[in-house]
Chain A
Amino acid sequence: MRDFIKAFALEYRTIFKNGGIMIVLVFAPLFYSLLYSSGYAKEVLYNVPIAVIDHSHTASSREVIVRLNASPYIYTAFQYGDILEAQKALMERKIYGIVYIPKEFEERINSCNQAVVSLYCDAGYFLMYRQIVQGATGAIFSLNNSLAPQLPVIYQSHTLFNPYLGYGTFIMPAVLIVILQQTAMVAICMAGGVWRKERLYDRFSSSIVVTAAKVMVYCSICAVIASYILGIHYHIFGYPMCGSTADICGVIIPFILSTTLFAITLSTLFSRAEQPLMYLLWTSIPILLLSGASLPPQAFPQWMYILGKIFPSSSAVEAFIRVQTMGGTLDNVTSQTTTLWILSLIYGITATFAIKRRMPGRTTKSRTSNLLP
């Protein structure tokens, strides 16, 4: 017990003494979560500028323009006489789409022939593209409804958990989980570098005790940060909170535990505190991608998706979104929580053995077996 308290105190001292670790462990998750969420705070893209080329100049074509402007997603910023002018504006990013109404537009409607309106969309930016298509097709659809008899089959779409298709609501739950994991991982590894550099492992004889003390330290800190993110940050930015507290804890606890143990295992490989930042920083984007939150697993090779399960964030992101955003229960995420508990067990064993390798009695071997430079 004395060793446990000693290791516990030593780990806290390492964190508070080293400004770099404090920044990464405590301030970075708060800073990143605030900055990313602020970037996506408006959630939905409205008023994308488009141009109209109206060669018809009739009441019908003007009605098209009125209905385009009635859409919240787009507005007619310019009207041009020809396509070349509009193309130039498109290249200069003054507009992101062009609606072309041909000369015979009204004539065709009045003569019971189908009229065609052309829509040219910039697909260089997917969100712009989606809003323009949605805005323009919605406008033409409403005009058709006023001109034609009701179609026998009406299409109705319901978005269950993110009704306005907010970008922040979509991506931030996954980003927040990855931020929690990555900052904890880098900070724990930095502390591991300090432990090796200052030969702090030499002061202990039981690797289980050291592992347990480190787990207690980081789980307590991560629990506070997670509570802030889930309790305060989520409220500030208005993200959906449909899961019960017990179910959220059922996901977050094994996530924090497995992340901590995974990081403790890795931390024994670093001999200097700056190494983890340099080696692990770039992994945030690949780890976010492997969770399948940004691109679905159907969009990338299956072996990568399966391999990605070695990171606790992959299972945690899936489970967290389904519980917190969709309002599912732990029964819906059994496979993910089981994976997280299995990872905790595996990384618990690896962490204990990895620390044992750095302990007195194994020092000769350990000092010659640096897996990382």
Chain B
Amino acid sequence: MFKSFINEIERVKRDSIYATTLLVLPIFALIFFVCFFSKSGIKNLPIALLDNDKSSLSRRVADMIESTAAVEIVFSVESSHEGLELILDGKAYAVVVIPDNFENNCLSGNTTHIELYNTGTNISTNGFIERDIQTVATTFGAGVAIEYLQAAGELYNKALATVMPIRIAEHTLFNPYMNYAYYLAPCFMAMMVVIFTLITTIYALYGSKITSVAKLVATCLPVTVTMSVLSAIMLFILFGVIGVPLKGSITIIALANAMLILSYQAVAILFVGISGSLHTALSLGGGYSVIAFTFSGFTFPVMAMAVVLQIFSHLFPFTYYMNIFIDQAMRGAEWYISLSDLGYMMLFLTLPLFVYRRL
């Protein structure tokens, strides 16, 4: 087996396609994601303001919007049509409208409003803009009402309770800074490990004559070792460079990484076993690896998918890997919580048994 392994290493040196997919491209992919997630958080999303009142109170609202984290007023427009054109031109993400007589209504105790026109075409920017403008509008409205009651002789606390009898104290668990990089970087980087493991293992198996189990293991081993090293670098980048929280067990995460690589190698063996050609195996492997992202439920939860797709989502080791990663890295779960997910991943290791004779 050791001799076969050495032969495989020699093959990596000789075969530049193998070497490129095994070493060069994965490193390039990791560098890409490090650069991509180097900017922390979503800030200064450009929006337009249609201030129909142009009063000191409406300017106060504008100042409050300017001081929010995510939003920046880049355009002052004179009509809603002008605002809509800015949105359609891609220059502004939203338009905030302050109506006529805003100040007069506020001061005379009449009801007025602050309106936000959001596009909805990007859920992440939409959420950040909505959150900030709603906070400004609610805080401003409550402030005006409290001032009004205080002017009538009410104490601040009583005025506050009158205006807002119940306050909601929000505690964000597991990703307190609401950092998108913490959320997306682990998923995308692990996805790269999956793609390269699957593709490279298929290629390695096609270039080698499998005569025994030892030969099969030796053929897969260079990919296993290289991807293990790469995934260790990935973990260092995630926790050490990007700053993803690590609240649980790094041992379980390392085990999950190893299982991710081994399970996708087992899937690669299955595809080689059932495919007639390298092209077909690569096409199958490519399709299978890429769709795992959607069906991991990471961006759109599996619970919201149709039942048949919920079952389908269990056919990807990546789904279990992401469960483990979130549990251990971000949620700080006890180690035994992840054992069932690790167990499911281990089931994939039996796949080669079904096709071994066809290799």
Least Cβ distance of A277 to chain B in Å?
5
Q: Does A351 contact B (CB under 8 A)?
A: no
Stretch of A137-145, A215-223, A358-366 contacting B (4+ beta carbons < 8 Å)? A137-145
Q: Does A41 contact B (CB under 8 A)?
A: yes
Q: Does B67 contact A (CB under 8 A)?
A: no
- Chain B residues positioned under 8 Å from A35 (CB to CB): 291, 294
Which one of A91, A121, A279, A372 lies within 8 Å of B331 (CB-CB)?
Answer: A91
Q: Provided the pairs A45-B301, A116-B167, A301-B35 are in contact, do residues A32 and B291 lie with their beta carbons within 8 angstroms?
A: yes
Q: Does B295 contact A (CB under 8 A)?
A: yes
Q: Is the CB of A119 within 8 A of B294?
A: no
Q: Which residue of B lies closest to A42 (CB)?
A: B304
Q: Is the CB of A373 within 8 A of B299?
A: no
Least Cβ distance of A62 to chain B in Å?
14
Q: Does A246 contact B (CB under 8 A)?
A: no
Stretch of B132-140, B235-243, B349-357 contacting A (4+ beta carbons < 8 Å)? B132-140
What 1/0 flags go to B128-151 for Cβ under 8 Å of A? 001001100110111011001000
What 1/0 flags go to B198-231 for Cβ under 8 Å of A? 0110010000000000000000000000000000
CA distance A44 to B303 in the complex (A): 11
CA distance A274 to B279 in the complex (A): 6
- Chain A residues positioned under 8 Å from B174 (CB to CB): 122-124
Find residues 112-128 in chain A having any chain B CB closer than 8 Å to their own CB.
112-128
Q: Is the CB of B290 within 8 A of A332?
A: no
Q: Is the CB of B119 within 8 A of A136?
A: no
- Chain A residues positioned under 8 Å from B145 (CB to CB): 149, 151-152
CA distance A113 to B115 in the complex (A): 30
Q: Is the CB of B88 within 8 A of A122?
A: no
Q: Does A19 contact B (CB under 8 A)?
A: yes
Q: Which residue of B lies closest to A186 (CB)?
A: B286
CA distance A328 to B137 in the complex (A): 29
Which one of A20, A278, A298 lies within 8 Å of B21 (CB-CB)?
Answer: A278
Stretch of A2-10, A195-203, A281-289 contacting B (4+ beta carbons < 8 Å)? A281-289
Q: Is the CB of B120 within 8 A of A277?
A: no
CA distance A317 to B110 in the complex (A): 45
- Chain A residues positioned under 8 Å from B152 (CB to CB): none
Q: Is the CB of B300 within 8 A of A152?
A: no
Find residues 321-335 in chain A having any chain B CB closer than 8 Å to their own CB.
321-322, 325-329, 332-333
Q: Does A109 contact B (CB under 8 A)?
A: yes
Q: Is the CB of A158 within 8 A of B118?
A: yes
Stretch of B180-188, B251-259, B262-270 contacting A (4+ beta carbons < 8 Å)? B180-188
CA distance A158 to B133 in the complex (A): 12
Which one of B84, B130, B286 lies within 8 Å of A281 (CB-CB)?
Answer: B286
Q: Is the CB of A152 within 8 A of B148?
A: yes
Q: Is the CB of A124 within 8 A of B160?
A: no
Which one of A20, A45, A123 lies within 8 Å of B279 (CB-CB)?
Answer: A20
Q: Is the CB of B20 within 8 A of A325?
A: no
Q: Which residue of A lies closest to B330 (CB)?
A: A124
Q: Does A39 contact B (CB under 8 A)?
A: yes
The number of chain B residues with a CB under 8 A from chain A is: 120
Q: Provided the pairs A121-B170, A154-B113, A285-B188 are in contact, do residues A277 and B199 lie with their beta carbons within 8 angstroms?
A: yes
Find residues 60-94 in chain B having any chain A CB closer than 8 Å to their own CB.
84-85, 87-90, 93
Which one of B16, B88, B120, B168 lies within 8 Å of A119 (CB-CB)?
Answer: B168
- Chain A residues positioned under 8 Å from B188 (CB to CB): 285, 289
CA distance A314 to B330 in the complex (A): 32
Q: Is the CB of A282 within 8 A of B166?
A: no
Q: Provided the pairs A152-B106, A155-B137, A279-B25 are in contact, do residues A161 and B120 lie with their beta carbons within 8 angstroms?
A: yes
Q: Which residue of B lies closest to A159 (CB)?
A: B120
Q: Provided the pairs A148-B163, A326-B119, A373-B20 are in contact, do residues A277 and B326 lie with their beta carbons within 8 angstroms?
A: no
Q: Does A153 contact B (CB under 8 A)?
A: yes
Find residues 153-195 in chain B having any chain A CB closer than 8 Å to their own CB.
157-158, 160-176, 178, 180, 183-184, 188, 191-192, 195
Q: Does B3 contact A (CB under 8 A)?
A: no
Q: Is the CB of A124 within 8 A of B167?
A: no
CA distance A329 to B89 in the complex (A): 9
- Chain B residues positioned under 8 Å from A150 (CB to CB): 111
Find residues 41-80 in chain A having any chain B CB closer than 8 Å to their own CB.
41-42, 44-46, 48, 64
Q: A115-B165, A154-B113, A155-B141 are in contact. List 9 more A-B contacts (CB 8 A).
A: A24-B283, A38-B309, A113-B161, A190-B279, A295-B124, A296-B125, A298-B42, A328-B88, A328-B89
10 pairs of residues in contact across A and B, judged by CB atoms under 8 Å: A114-B164, A119-B168, A126-B180, A128-B301, A130-B127, A274-B203, A278-B20, A293-B122, A299-B42, A373-B16
B: which residues have CB within 8 A of A? 16-17, 19-21, 25, 29, 32-33, 35-39, 41-45, 84-85, 87-90, 93, 105-106, 109-127, 130, 133-134, 137-138, 140-142, 144-145, 148, 157-158, 160-176, 178, 180, 183-184, 188, 191-192, 195-196, 199-200, 203, 277-280, 282-283, 286-287, 289-291, 293-295, 297-301, 303-306, 309, 326-327, 330-331, 333-334, 337
Listed from nearest, the 10 A-B pairs whose CB atoms lie closest are A20-B279, A373-B16, A153-B141, A162-B120, A155-B137, A159-B120, A123-B175, A328-B88, A151-B141, A332-B88
